Amino acid sequence: MFVLLLSREANDSAFVRREVERAASKGKPVLPVRLEEVTPSRALELFISSEQWIDAWRTPREPHWRRLAEVIVGLGAADAATPSRSATPAPPAAKRSLPAIASKRIVPALVALLLAVAGLGGWLSLRDGGTPQAMPAPAAVQSGAAEPARNEASAAPPEPAPVPAPASPPLLPATDSSGAAGPCPQRLSINPDLPMPFSCECTAEAVREGTVWGTDAYTNDSALCRAARHAGVIPADGGRITALRETGHDLYVGTSRNGVTTSDYGPYTPSVRFAGGPPPRSGPGPCPQRLSINAGLPMPFTCICAAEAVREGTVWGSNVYTADSSLCRAAAHAGVVARTGGSITALREAGRDLYVGTGRNGVQSSDYGTYAWSVRFEGGPPLPQGPEPCPQRLSINPDLPMPLSCVCSPEAVRDGTVWGTDAYTSDSSLCRAALHAGALGRDGGRISVMREAGRELYAGSARNGVTSNDYSSAAASIRFAH
């Protein structure tokens, strides 16, 4: 399982987002524990739900830790009761059942996690200026047995009888005396000390299963045989491969090749490459889907956009874009790459309070509010010296400094819905509301808008060719300077 300790910093972290994404891709349950009153970002909310939500910032905290312990132990017991897949059955001499073995592996990890959470509870209490409160010790769990009822008055369960450890089997070579290779592990990361080069046999099933990160060089925890197929060193029905361990990389870029689609990933060590695969690139490699995959990449960053990457994804902003925008599609919006793809050079910039979407070069970008950091492109349009384009709605960021001056295009004046008269709901179409208010003409132009307190009633009217609508109470209003 994956326990997500959600704070404002974690919410903005590209690394945290990718680790959650990775946990979800491997079928691990994601358990959100909010350390602060924060709403998950749009990137995290895809992978978490409120089914087992724990708000750990509220006091008293003991019930939160107890609930977390119960959820973790419950999930661990469920995992222990589910036999893991095994290519060969356990030898008859081993009398311990698979659930018992699983419990012996899971319970220490659960206890360690609970102790870590207990320490976290003390830290939270000290941070709030209070005295740390005692964390109830987790109940002992016997290997292979159901969790005892939580009766604090009952006596502690007897110590389980010691189980003699089986004799350690001799280490087997990767190849037999005839030179034939054994079956491949699912991932090379199962043993970071395996002698290299490592040869093994991939089955057709192993080629079809698992997740892979990277191209030519792959993260060490990628599905080994599927990565080998992506590298082109074996056919779809499997075969013998030779893996080589390498140092890690700051960036692994996913591509589609040989019927396998791989994913992007940030810093990871070590990596794996295959004998007979493509040699390391001497120039720029393919672009990642988003630059936010690694906030520490050296800048400027040059990479190659494929035609498919230019056509796909979502973009927020104009000239300056959110770092999680689709990189190649944003480059096309900025006019620095053709629809057929090509080389781009990206520059990291500070975050902004507002990113305004526009239609340009066949790409429609979107508005967005505050984001931690931005990306811009060499050779892109210069930043405007005066007011920038208006957002579609002022509600995109309720904390924007006021008054806000921006420029309405003729298209923005024609589109959207408006609620109110003179004072409008903050989610009204900004430029169309300005036309209704008489602050500009139908050809657009510069406006100055102020935020006001919300109202109990917004009455619609017909004015200047725009018909606005009635609405009841809203949290905030807008008004225009004439």
CATH homologous superfamily for the domain 394-480: LCCL-like domain (2.170.130.20)
In a 10 Å sphere around its CB, with 0-12 CB exposed, 13-18 middle and 19+ buried, how is residue 423 labelled?
Answer: buried
pLDDT score of 433: 98
Q: Assess whether pLDDT exceeds 90 at residue 74.
A: no
Condensed to tens digits (0 to 9), the pLDDT of residues 279-334 reads: 888 889 999 999 999 989 999 999 999 999 999 999 999 999 999 999 999 999 99
Sign of the dihedral through C-alpha 450, 364, 352, 45: positive
pLDDT score of 95: 30
The DSSP secondary structure of 342-394, one letter per residue, reads EEEEEEEEEEES-B---EETTEE-B-B--EEEEEEETTSPPPPSSPPBPPS-G
pLDDT score of 441: 96
Sign of the dihedral through C-alpha 382, 387, 390, 393: positive
Average pLDDT of span 209-220:
96
CATH architecture of 291-377: Beta Complex (2.170)
DSSP-assigned letter for residue 204: H
Pairing, β 30-34 against β 54-55? parallel
Element (H, E) at 272: strand 271-274
Q: Do domains 291-377 and 394-480 have the same CATH topology?
A: yes
Phi, psi of 347 (to 5 degrees): -125, 135
Average pLDDT of span 246-261:
96
Average pLDDT, the chain: 80
284-293: burial string, b at 16+ Cβ within 10 Å, e else:
ebbbbbbbbb
**Is the separation of the CB atoms in 214 and 270 below 8 Å?**
no
Residue 147: Cβ within 10 Å count: 14
Strand partners, 214: 218
Domain ranges of the chain: 2-84+99-127, 193-274, 291-377, 394-480
CATH code for the structural domain at 193-274: 2.170.130.20
Q: In angstroms, what CA-CA distances link 16 with 293, 294, 295, 438? A: 10, 11, 12, 47
In this structure, of 30-44, 119-133, 356-370, the range with the lowest mean pLDDT score is: 119-133
Cα–Cα nearest to 247, from 276, 275, 267: 267
Token duo for residue 462 = 């017909």
Average pLDDT of span 64-74:
66
Residues 6+ apart with CB under 8 A from 115: none
In this structure, of 176-180, 312-316, 398-402, the range with the lowest mean pLDDT score is: 176-180
3-class DSSP assignment, residue 33: strand
pLDDT score of 2: 78
